[in-house]
Amino acid sequence: MPLNYFIMLLILPLAFSPVIYLVGRAIGGKKKKNTGPNISRWLLLGVISWCLYTLIRLYPISLADEKVRATWGTVSFQFDGISLVLIASALILGLLSTWFSGRYLAGEVGEEKYYALFSILIGSILCLVCAADLFTLWLCFEMMAVSTYTLVAFHRQNAAALEAGVKYLVQSALGSVLVILGIALVFGERGSLSLETLKAIGTQTPGLLAAGGLILVGFGIKAAIVPLHTWLPDAHSQAPSGMSAMLSGVVIAAGLTAMLRALSALGVPPAVWGCAFLALGSINMLVGNLLALRQVEVKRMLAYSSISHIGYLLIGLGFALYQGVNYGAEGTFFHLITHAIMKGLAFLTAGAFLFVLLPHDGFHGSLKIKDLQGAANKYPLAALTFSIAILALGGLPPLAGFMSKWVIFTAGFITNDGWMIAAAIFMALNSVLSLAYYAPVVNRLYQKECSDLVKAGNKIPAGLSLPLVLLAVFTVMIGLYPAILQPIYQLAGKNLLALFF
């Protein structure tokens, strides 16, 4: 029964997280250092795989556009196309990040806590994107936020990581406060928190408008909308690399999705949000790209690049909401998926380089771009996957980023509105600008002269290489034949437009 699978999907990761922690603590604690991944990793992999299985069982049902609902009192969950996209991204990227972290964090202090918290993170994302009422939405959002605070500051002996975690915590908590104020306003105006009921009422009041502003800014902090983005460069660069991949790939997208779900219930005409998203998206792209130009650290550059990619998503949403263009919504979700894959690949490869080039004993320094000089001579596979990742992020064919950006561009031009077309051209120019900081990294990788760190580096273990190869293959496959993902992103686009119009 689809409902059973759905409930399993929602409950499994959260229910298993204490088990993961306890087993890891009990059994893993007895092992000596650096003798391979903790058993808790295998447990987490099993949980995620089980969730993937339930997702596969739910997939045909959602394609037939039947919604699966689970309700307990006023708490309700619903599985639709948008949930499908985000859950698929979260589970697949989560699976690969967990596999990667096995070797990456082997033998570190508190390793089992990492996997337990990861499990909570994935579980809360699954619940968040399926939430069908505002209370559940906020609750899952908070759960996701709390788990990420500790995961960001995982290397707590490292002062920079701790600082990043604290700043992230304070800003995110401020966001949560604003969101709950907004939800309170909605409840006060309407008397109900169910998204369906709220949408059915559909008239706009000043109170709801104020709630909208609060929700936009509150969730916007998590979604890294400029000028609320200031926590992101620190957090994404200081987190362990498996976590950075998840953060940039899925968590900020989940924040964006939560915002969309909440905003759809307010009865405000979608064009208002569309216009706001177009303006915000343009600023995001430009700010993200300009700031990334001056970065000398690899992970920080990738973090700023995430800010600019959120800009692309916002522009796509802007086209979708301003005029109801279906390609806008489809393009946004397509780009969400490809960005998760490409950014995940970039961060995981950066993590692999970090692992072999920098000394680590629970303390990870920062990898600078100049440290990667000549890395291709010694690490051809990792250099290739990194080049694929960042050139794909720059939107070059035959890689995935080109195809997902193309759909968003198509949306802009179909509207035949001068401002929309200008926004699309601005997005294209920003894509070119991003190459100005992506391309030099590729050049540096392929130099003949190796940096000292590269000369002294160890071999990359096979365990770290496997996720890289898989993600690289996905990137190229989607770039050559984008129609593979079409049923998924088309469904999500349709559902998004149904939410608002």
What is the nearest approach in angstroms of other proteins to the Cβ of residue 332?
12
Quick one: 229 or 343, whose CB is closer to other proteins?
A: 229
275 binds other proteins (CB under 8 A): yes
* Residue partners of 12: CB distance under 8 A and separation at least 6: 47, 50, 51, 54, 123
Q: According to CB under 8 A, which one of 15, 200, 296, 425 is a site residue for other proteins?
A: 425
- Quick check: 154 and 239 in contact, CB under 8 A? yes
Q: According to CB under 8 A, which one of 15, 22, 432, 473 is a site residue for other proteins?
A: 432
Quick one: 136 or 495, whose CB is closer to other proteins?
A: 495
340 binds other proteins (CB under 8 A): no
From 10-18, 99-107, 363-371, 476-484, give the range in contact with other proteins by CB under 8 A: 476-484
Q: Could you give phi then psi for residue 392, rounded to 5 degrees?
A: -65, -40
Q: What is the largest CA-CA distance in the chain?
A: 67
From 16-24, 74-82, 245-253, 431-439, give the range in contact with other proteins by CB under 8 A: 431-439
Angle at 262 between CA 256 and CA 268, to 5 degrees: 110
What is the nearest approach in angstroms of other proteins to the Cβ of residue 489?
9
476 binds other proteins (CB under 8 A): no
- CA dist 240 → 19, 120, 360, 363 (Å): 23, 17, 12, 10
Helices 326-357 and 298-323 cross at an angle (nearest 10°) of 170
Q: According to CB under 8 A, which one of 158, 192, 323, 447 is a site residue for other proteins?
A: 447
- Whether residue 398 is preceded by a cis peptide bond, meaning omega within 30 degrees of 0, is yes
Per CB under 8 A, contacts with other proteins among 120-149 are: none
81 binds other proteins (CB under 8 A): no
Q: What sign has the CA pseudo-torsion 421, 424, 430, 432?
A: negative
**How far is Cα 70 from Cα 68, in angstroms, rounded to an integer?**
7
Q: According to CB under 8 A, which one of 436, 452, 459, 501 is a site residue for other proteins?
A: 436
Q: Could you give phi then psi for residue 71, rounded to 5 degrees?
A: -130, 135
**How far is Cα 285 from Cα 425, in angstroms, rounded to an integer?**
12
Per CB under 8 A, contacts with other proteins among 178-237 are: 178, 204, 206, 209-210, 212-214, 216-217, 220-221, 225, 227-228, 230-231, 233-234
Helix (H) or strand (E) segment spanning residue 456 = helix 452-456
Q: Give the residues across from 70 on adjacent strands.
A: 77
171 binds other proteins (CB under 8 A): yes
73 binds other proteins (CB under 8 A): no
Quick one: 23 or 407, whose CB is closer to other proteins?
A: 407
Q: According to CB under 8 A, which one of 403, 423, 471, 488 is a site residue for other proteins?
A: 403
Count Cα neighbours of 500 within 13 Å in the Cβ-side half-sphere: 29
Quick one: 71 or 486, whose CB is closer to other proteins?
A: 486
Quick one: 122 or 252, whose CB is closer to other proteins?
A: 252
What is the nearest approach in angstroms of other proteins to the Cβ of residue 405?
10
From 110-118, 239-247, 429-437, 452-460, give the range in contact with other proteins by CB under 8 A: 429-437
CA-nearest of 333, 312, 313, 323 to 82 is 333
**How far is Cα 427 from Cα 401, in angstroms, rounded to an integer?**
13
From 26-34, 130-138, 324-332, 467-475, give the range in contact with other proteins by CB under 8 A: 324-332
Q: According to CB under 8 A, which one of 157, 380, 455, 501 is a site residue for other proteins?
A: 380
End-to-end CA distance of the chain: 31
281 binds other proteins (CB under 8 A): no
**How far is Cα 408 from Cα 454, in angstroms, rounded to an integer?**
39
From 41-49, 73-81, 100-108, 432-440, give the range in contact with other proteins by CB under 8 A: 432-440
Quick one: 127 or 427, whose CB is closer to other proteins?
A: 427
**How far is Cα 209 from Cα 331, in angstroms, rounded to an integer?**
28
Quick one: 13 or 316, whose CB is closer to other proteins?
A: 316
Distance, C-alpha 443 to centroid of its chain? 27
Q: According to CB under 8 A, which one of 45, 201, 287, 470 is a site residue for other proteins?
A: 287
Quick one: 272 or 498, whose CB is closer to other proteins?
A: 272
What is the nearest approach in angstroms of other proteins to the Cβ of residue 229?
9
Helix (H) or strand (E) segment spanning residue 70 = strand 68-72
Q: According to CB under 8 A, which one of 413, 466, 477, 498 is a site residue for other proteins?
A: 413
Q: What sign has the CA pseudo-torsion 480, 485, 491, 496?
A: negative
Quick one: 40 or 338, whose CB is closer to other proteins?
A: 338
323 binds other proteins (CB under 8 A): no
